[in-house]
Structure formats: structure tokens, C-alpha cells
Amino acid sequence: MNVRRLDVGSCTSDVICVAVYKLDITIYYSMSEINIDANLAKIEGIIGVEFKDKTYLKSAITHRSYLNENRDATWDHNERLEFLGDAVLELVVTDFLFARYPDKPEGELTAVRAALVNTVSLADASDKLGINDYLLMSKGERQDEGRARQYILANAFEALIGAIYQDQGYEAAKKFVGDNLFHKTDEIVEKRLWQDPKSRFQELAQENVSITPTYETLAQVGPDHDRVFTIGVYLKNEKVAEGQGRSKQEGEQSAAEAAIVAKGW
């Protein structure tokens, strides 16, 4: 909110003025501030949380780049809340997995947790909530719809957790995490999505046909600094699938993922 002395007749079309005659001041809000406040209310409706201090929510959806272009903004970007939310998220998910899978060893629980809270999973959860429509960021960041946006969405999800924790407490943050992530757990465990594709395909191949997959480089193109490898994955003499990557290891993972689909495993 900004406060300045104005004549009542000095209000323009892009400023909403409320005259407070006894104090001889005018309180005014820019249209951008009103739009942000309206969006905050929409987010509250989506996530089912009404914030006591809206600044936490406003910061949670603010990327650092927005403040570079809006120097008059009076709130912080979301990196501190992301830091806090990351810690809360890890505790909530660890507690959930520990109780849900009492017979699984520590190593497997760690791998399942990593799959549940990785960038792709968090960005997907954030995107399904529609948070992308309300993010405050620079025009340049807004135009980038690639991998960088995934990181921004994932970070915003963690920042939301931090904001909810600060404003509402642990139980509210736990509910938000549970509502948006826990439903993925059974699929991750049943389909072994906590494993990398190469490890997963090897276990599935040994279980189904008692064969250990092998990999062969079929082609490599491009200069040294930008080479693309095509890798084939085989079960004995059967080429099951191909994959590509900027390294042989990346190509093998891609091929293994394609092989799982090809085999219907």
C-alpha cells in the first residue's frame, strides 16, 4: 500500500483512489497490486488454505526475476520459503513412507522418497494445481517454457509448503503435501519408478525371461561437444528397443525405458 497527499480530483484512470478526508491523505492501489491480490485469493481457493498473512503466499509465487523488474515490490522472492518447504517436505514424506511400508529397508525407502519429491514430480503437482498461471516472474522467464520452467514450478511448490507451514503450522503443510503427492506412491512402488530405467529393465528381464540385457552403440553423430549416441538394448539376439542420448549412459537409460514399454513390463 502506498500513501501520498493528493487532491481528490488528481486520480487518474489507472489508479483507484480512496479519499480519507479527516487525515487529508489518499490511499491508492495500482491495478497490478489489485490483480495480484485477486490471484492470491484464487490460489487460496485452489489449495484450500486461507492465509492469515498473505505476504507468505505472495512471496511463495514470486520468482527472483520478478523483483529485478519490479523494484517497488515490498515482499521477498520465494527462495527462503523454498528452503524451508524442502525440509518440511522431506519430513512429511519420510514419516508417511516409514509408516506405510514397515517392511521396506532404508535404501529402498530413500529411493522411493527421491522419486516422489524429484523435480519432475513436484513440477507436475504444481502444474496440476494451476500455479503456473499465477507465478510472478520476469517477462524473459515467462517466455521460457522448457526445462527451466519445470525447476521454477517445483521450487514454487516447495515454497508453498514453506508458506503454509509458516502461516498455518505443520499439520496444514502435511495435509497439502498428502493431498498433492501421496497418491503417486503406489504407482512408484508397483512400477519400480524409484529405480532408474536401466536397473528396472534388468530386474524385469531377469524375472520374466531370465536374461540379463546387453547394450550396443548403434550410431554416434555430431561433433565432440554435441554428440548424440544411439544405443540398442538386447535380450540375447533380440533387439528390444533403441534410445538416444548425449552420452552412452544417457542413451542406455533411454533405450531401457523404451524397452520396458515395448515389452509391456
- The SS3 of residue 104 is coil
- Just list the catalytic residues: 86, 158
Local structure of 55: helix, strand or coil:
helix
DSSP count for the chain of H helices, then E strands: 12, 6
> Sheet of 25-30: strands edge to edge?
2-4, 25-30, 15-20
* DSSP letter (8 states) at residue 28: E
Pairing of β 228-235 and β 214-221: antiparallel
- Rounded distance, CA 9 to CA 78, Å? 39
